Amino acid sequence: MKYAKNILETIGNTPLVQLNSIVKDLPCKVLAKVEYFNPGHSCKDRMALKMVEDAEADGRLKPGGTIIEGTSGNTGMGLALAAVVKGYKLICVITDKQSKEKMDILRAVGAKVVVCPTDVEPTDPRSYYSVSKRLAQETPNGWYVNQYDNPSNAQANYEQTGPEIWEQTQGAVTHFIVGVGTGGTISGVGKYLKEQKPNVKVWGVDTYGSVFKKYHETGIFDENEVYSYVTEGIGEDILPENVNFSVIDHFTKVTDKDAAVYCRKLALEEGIFVGMSSGSAIKGLLQMKDELKPDDVVVVLFHDSGSRYIGKIFNDEWMRERGYLEDEITTAADLIQNHIEKPLVVVRTEELVSHALDRIRKYKISQIPVIDKDGFVGSLEDSDLFAAFMNDANIAEKPIREVMGAPYPVVNKKAKVEDVSKLITKDNNAVLVDLEDGKYHIITKYDIINSIK
């Protein structure tokens, strides 16, 4: 019989899979180390188990103890598997940026989850770094894992992931590229590969909002580089001891939007359903295209599975809200998609200004087209009304006909965005679009601004 004695024995030996369509513009072979084949569905199973075993070996973790860690979810999952099999309790401290799926999964494997705010300084007592340290001090028989500075993290990748890549490529690997968070993966794999073949290039993928790239290039820890970002698992506002900058040849930064878009492309073009940092990794590689030659063999590591991001990157609404969906906005009709369901608010020439003001307030709009029996004959802007009101407090009781401005220009629904935007000027804040079914809608300068990607 051939079987594993427990789930922990199934960690590692993940496949190396050639990428085809998504890297068609690169001159060389690209192989993906697909780490979601691990039992906890991420690369972090490897280091989680190694950290536990090393802590058991030197007595930091005692029988029946409680494992405490600040984790973005994947390390927590690996620790949870080890805790279940080996009989420890686990507390995972997580930031509120992490997907709900990740929190639910951790609870499903027995972890207690403590959620902390993302947008606080690492030294703030509410930060997930501070909370995990405090819980470790307060919990009897507790052990604080500290994946950032725990050398077993990089060591696990040095002992397993690196040798696997070396053997799977039969030493042909020339480049290794991966997203960098704690640094354990890049530092462990990078060190091993460079020991076998010193000219292997090791490229780190960083995110906008993180300090790594600038620190690597200048030695400056620039706090201005730190702001909140969406990508999970990579980038930091600290310098973890596991980042061995000396084995990293270059960092490239990838935007949140590109990470999300390329994650979807991996699923659709390669059938590889991975998490957001894998989108960063593949986009980072494409950004490095000019550095590659036909004989190169690139290994890109995909950290985790897309199933943890169903409510995020694989949810159209979430993507659209952040402007990540590549919906093409080329015509007047595209510009009004966000509010096409709402009725066009109009006023009639013989209504009073007070009626127009009521509608401006009720619908929270800034301008209204004016109609009479012949169609659109004028317009009212809230700023003009305000100025008129300052001159004459009785204006509210006047008919709109007496105060209205020129009617808005009307365009066909197929009019190009460039042509529509030329009609929006300092003196004209809106354009009407003829939907060709007897109905009209309004395009404001905000629709034009929102269409700019």
Ligand X SMILES: Cc1ncc(COP(=O)(O)O)c(C=O)c1O
| Contact footprint for ligand X (CB under 6 A) | 42, 44, 72, 74-75, 179-186, 232-234, 275, 277, 303-304
Distance from C-alpha of 256 to C-alpha of 323, rounded to nearest angstrom: 11
User: What is the three-class DSSP state of 446?
Assistant: helix
Tell the smallest beta-carbon distance from residue 366 to ligand X (Å). Answer: 43
Comparing CA positions, the residue from 203, 278, 286, 283 lying closest to residue 234 is 278
Tell the smallest beta-carbon distance from residue 308 to ligand X (Å). Answer: 8
Tell the smallest beta-carbon distance from residue 234 to ligand X (Å). Answer: 5
Q: How is residue 428 annotated by DSSP? A: -
**Nearer to ligand X among residue 32 and residue 380 (C-beta):** 32
Give the C-alpha distances (Å, rounded to integers) separating 208 from 107, 195, 224, 237, 256.
30, 31, 11, 11, 8
44 assigned to active site: yes
Tell the smallest beta-carbon distance from residue 26 to ligand X (Å). Answer: 22
Tell the smallest beta-carbon distance from residue 145 to ligand X (Å). Answer: 12
**Nearer to ligand X among residue 232 and residue 258 (C-beta):** 232
Comparing CA positions, the residue from 59, 101, 53, 58 lying closest to residue 77 is 101
Strand order in the sheet with 375-381: 347-348, 367-372, 375-381
What is the residue-wise DSSP string for 109-135?
TT-EEEEE-SSS-TTSTTSHHHHHHHH
Given 33, 44, 194, 201, the catalytic residue: 44
**Nearer to ligand X among residue 267 and residue 365 (C-beta):** 267
**Nearer to ligand X among residue 41 and residue 201 (C-beta):** 41
Distance from C-alpha of 261 to C-alpha of 30, rounded to nearest angstrom: 19
**Nearer to ligand X among residue 65 and residue 70 (C-beta):** 70
Q: How is residue 99 annotated by DSSP? A: -
Strands (E), 173-243: 175-179, 201-207
Distance from C-alpha of 395 to C-alpha of 397, rounded to nearest angstrom: 5
Tell the smallest beta-carbon distance from residue 180 to ligand X (Å). Answer: 5
Comparing CA positions, the residue from 159, 163, 154, 158 lying closest to residue 16 is 163
**Nearer to ligand X among residue 159 and residue 384 (C-beta):** 159
**Nearer to ligand X among residue 38 and residue 331 (C-beta):** 38
- Give the torsion sign (CA, 229, 233, 234, 236): positive
Distance from C-alpha of 114 to C-alpha of 112, rounded to nearest angstrom: 7
Tell the smallest beta-carbon distance from residue 187 to ligand X (Å). Answer: 8
Tell me the residue nearest to ligand X as measured from the CB. 233
DSSP helix, strand, coil percent of the chain (3-state; round to 5):
40, 20, 40
Active-site positions read 44
